Structure 1
Amino acid sequence: KLRENTIIVLWGDHGWHLGEHAIWGKHALFEESLRSPLIISHSGLVNPGKATRAMVETLDIFPTICELTGLKAPAGLNGQSLVPILKNPIAKGHPAFAYKRGVQTIRTDTRRLIAHKSGQLELYDHTSSAGESKNLAEAQPEKAAALLKQLRARLPQ
């Protein structure tokens, strides 16, 4: 009975750099610092034990718990329920956003854009082996501009 009425959520608040990008520690806007584990266990899940590659944010946890418990999520939340992904691990997620001291980032399934207060842009392709080691912002200005538009819509300067 207890298991049927229990939702377990385990997550890390951040990742850690071990020398990547010449950074040792946390609080950067690269993949190593922003990616963190998230595990949700609920007796009503159809596909328990499945992993997903869907892009999500920790602010999605609260709306997810609301939906799993049958509670109405308060209006104005930025997060989205992860129940569709819990039911179908190959379902799409949504872009993830972060910011730190005047620098902002958007991460999609395939790319990351980092926008500095100075106007400098960094664009990285996560479909290539280069990952976040080759800045493509100048070579792909149209992709950088499209991501910057999404970023500004969510995180105005």
Structure 2
Amino acid sequence: MRELKGFIEQGHTWAMRMTTFLLAAKQAVEAHHGALSEEEARRWERVYDRILERAQHRLETMTPLPKKALAFVRRLQKRKEEALRFLREVHVPFDNNQAERDLRMVKVKENISGTFREETFAQSFCIARSIVSTLTKHEKNVWDSLCLLLAGETIDRVLSAT
């Protein structure tokens, strides 16, 4: 979505159509409680293909050739399965915002404390952040869950406990 926003700002109308399409697809998935039927997903894919085909045709006729926009359209065509996986699979999020937030914590730690003194410290920090993130995603009380983990419980048992 971030890249599409940039192309919209440059005046690419296809990017606005793709943004509208993706947001509508997201709403359709939410209305179906997380995943579409195979037939419905194929219908959305056909619209996706049409938007990109028209975008590619339009971009290829422009002078000068908008190389970045054309490369982006081709990447969306090539990565269609990954881009639209959220249509079929409940556990696949619409965007990668959570992954970006998870990674941002490493940069914050690095900016506040400087670099990690040893690689093992960086690995330990990442493991701890991963555990906290997993607990949060599973709507577990982080403090209580960490206490259980430190007392010897496995992550699987903590996650499956009600």
Tell me, yes or no, whether TM beats 0.5: no
**Which structure: larger Rg?**
2
TM-score (norm 1): 0.24
**Higher helix fraction (1 or 2):** 2
TM-score (norm 2): 0.23
